[in-house]
Amino acid sequence: MDEIHQSIKIIQRCKIYQTDKISNLLGQVQAQMNANPASADLVLYGIALGIEKVSDSRIYEQRNDDRLNELSEKIQKIENREVLEEGEFFPPGDPDTPEEYQALNIEFKHRIDEIKAGIMREFGEDELAVLFMNNGKEFLRHYYNGWQVLEKDNPKVLKEIDEQEKHDLS
């Protein structure tokens, strides 16, 4: 297994609170890619996975985005008003979902995407950020292709990837 594969495998095992380690690994993948070109989809997968973990840390652990915090509070108020239990939510597309709740969730998801794209830019991945924001399905297609390259020798994981890809791209 080459260095890029090894670095991406380590990124997979990292927890979201290990942002310094993930940042270093992302830098390694970028440097290794320049020194030893690999599958573009594999590299996209590794970088996107690392960035997703960094963004999850900022969004869900550090909670340092004022707009997301505001949206989250508004969503919580609606859930309380509608007497939803802890962890319960309205399923997407449910006709009984209040319009205000749907609109807030759409805005929440968009803000998360903006944060992820911003982190991509922080790591010098401007083209990746543009693809992510402007053509999400194409981004996901490359992401899943790269994941498949990484797991090419693991039929069980390949099956899981295929199922997840079908779900996400349908």
pLDDT score of 37:
66
pLDDT score of 85:
81
Q: Which residues contact 118 (CB under 8 A, 6 or more apart)?
A: 129
pLDDT score of 140:
93
45: nearest Cα among 163, 145, 156, 129: 145
d(CA 48, CA 72): 25
d(CA 94, CA 107): 18
E strand or H helix that includes residue 45: helix 40-56
pTM of the predicted protein model: 0.84
d(CA 116, CA 69): 16
Amino acid present at 31: A
* For the chain, domain boundaries: 3-169
DSSP codes of every residue in 15-29: -TT-HHHHHHHHHHH
- pLDDT tens for 108-162 read 999 999 999 999 999 999 999 999 999 999 999 999 999 999 999 888 988 888 8
- pLDDT tens for 61-97 read 888 899 999 999 999 898 888 888 887 888 877 888 8
Residue 55 has pLDDT above 60, yes or no: yes
Contact 141, 39 (CB under 8 A): no
